[in-house]
Structure 1
Amino acid sequence: MGVPKKRTSKMRRDRRRAANNNLRSAVQVTKCPNCKEPVMPHRACTSCGQYKGREVVAQAEA
């Protein structure tokens, strides 16, 4: 395994680490087909408790 001959400066190290920040995409939000509330994909709806058309989380009726 190679060993660096010179110490990496803080600026060079931070610039290298910051290069991947622009590759992260924004959080995707879709609408729940049941109640039309915004919900993240592949997760149960927090307001109605449904996922893929069936209830997976029991919600308290108000």
Structure 2
Amino acid sequence: MAVPRNRTSNARKNSRRAHHAKKPKNVNSCTNCAQSCLSHRICSHCGFYAGRWVFSERKG
């Protein structure tokens, strides 16, 4: 089993983890109702996705 020769310093450890932060979610506007919704998801307000209705019963 591999054993590290020297201890990793805090600066080296933290600089390696510099890119591990969470990125914000991409929020787009719905093409039908112009409400904000996540990309590649059904609009929770009107049920519209990819140019068609996904829900048979729309919220009214």
Q: TM-score, normalized by length of structure 2?
A: 0.66
Could you report, residue by residue, the CA deviation over 1:19-48 in whole angstroms, capped at 9, with x for unpaired residues?
x147x6543222111101111110110100
C-alpha displacement of 1:60: 5.6
The answer for the alignment partner of 1:6 in structure 2 is: 6
1:41 aligns with 2:31: no
Q: Describe the shift of the 1:60–1:34 C-alpha distance in structure 2 as closer, same or farther (beyond 3 A).
A: closer
Q: Describe the shift of the 1:56–1:5 C-alpha distance in structure 2 as closer, same or farther (beyond 3 A).
A: same
Instruction: Work out which of the residue numbers 20, 25, 28 in structure 2 matches 1:27.
Output: 25
Q: TM-score, normalized by length of structure 1?
A: 0.64
Q: Which runs of 5+ in 1 are unaligned?
A: none
Aligned length: 60
Query: Between the two proteins, what is the percent identity of the paired residues?
Result: 38
C-alpha displacement of 1:2: 5.4
